[in-house]
Amino acid sequence: MHRMGKFLDIFLEQRMDSSDGEDLKTALENTIAEEKKCLEQFELQTKICRGKIAEIDERIARNGQTHTLMQMKRAFEEQEFIVNTAAQCQQCSFETKGLQKLLYFEKNESGKERIAVDAFVMMYEWCDDLLLLTAKKYQDIASKLLSSAELARTRIARKKLQDFYKQTKPELAEVRHNAGAHRDHDFLKQREVLEGICWSETIQRLHDFEVVTLELGISMDALMKAGLRRLDKVFNRK
């Protein structure tokens, strides 16, 4: 490990043992509890959307398709897609906070090593997933429902995640491949990769990941609200 990285690790560990560390731990625990409540709300919203789609399908099966019914179904299908994407981003945030809490306060070296590997794997997988979820279908829906300014914010937020992934993917992939999934079963390579992981640098990278995914999540709020306005318009059309 680089000498400066080791120095930062020692400094950070001292901070975590101080009152600053206790304050951070409390703040993280409170945030994790709040994010768990948000996940429960997303679960409820998703179930509502799916229930409404099922109701519309039953009406179509009984009475046949109409333009209005198909509009209602499409609106709920797209809203479910939006909510599901936002829920995935919230799940990512929840997992990030959980790993931050573990990584900040772990004392055992082997424990730090394992948690750091988990963090690298998580960042790799979520970057892949969130970029896929916010690709063409998401952008097409956003283009229909958002104002120009809101659409620009959405695209900028996605681009920041894309840039983070492009910059960090080689290292994330190396740790995931050799220490996370053990693809090559090469002990010496595994040790080389693990010994190159710096605790404090991993914490900083996890923070940078949190920043870009949080911005992406915030940008989704406008799309969820726009979807709800569209549902109201469809259902209350005279």
Measured distance CA(111)–CA(16) in Å, rounded: 16
- What pLDDT shows up at residue 19? 57
The answer to which of 70-79, 105-114, 139-148 has the lowest mean pLDDT is 105-114
Average pLDDT over residues 91-107: 90
Render pLDDT for 41-68 as a digit per residue (tens, 0 to 9).
999 999 999 999 999 999 999 999 999 9
Q: Residue 7: pLDDT band by 50, 70, 90 thresholds?
A: very low
154 vs 234 pLDDT, higher one: 154
Task: Give whole-number Cα distances, 132 to 104, 121, 152, 180, in Å.
Answer: 30, 17, 18, 22
- The string of pLDDT tens digits covering residues 181-226 is 766 778 888 888 888 888 888 989 999 999 999 999 999 999 999 9
Better-predicted residue by pLDDT, 108 or 11: 108
pLDDT of residue 226: 96
| pLDDT computed for residue 208 by the predictor | 96
pLDDT score for 159 = 98
122-153 pLDDT, tens digit per residue, is 999 999 999 999 999 999 999 999 999 999 99
pLDDT classification of 8: cutoffs 50, 70, 90: very low
Asked if residues 215 and 129 have their Cβ atoms less than 8 Å apart, the reply is: no
Helix, strand or coil for residue 1?
coil
For residue 89, pLDDT beyond 90: yes
The per-residue pLDDT for 229 is 94
Counting residues of the chain whose pLDDT is more than 70, the rounded percentage is 89
11 band by pLDDT with thresholds 50, 70 and 90: very low
Confidence check: pLDDT of 5 > 50: no
Q: For residue 102, give every residue at least 6 positions away whose Cβ sits within 8 Å of its Cβ, in sequence order, or none.
A: 115
Quick check: helix, strand or coil at residue 209?
A: helix
Number of domains in the chain: 1
pLDDT of residue 25: 82
In this predicted structure, the answer to whether residue 10 has a pLDDT above a threshold of 50 is no
Whole-number pLDDT of residue 1:
44
Q: At what angle do helices 109-133 and 199-235 cross, to 10 degrees?
A: 30
Domain that holds residue 196: 3-235
Residue 84's contacts (CB-CB under 8 Å, 6 or more residues apart) are: 46
**Mean pLDDT, range 87-113, rounded to an integer:** 90
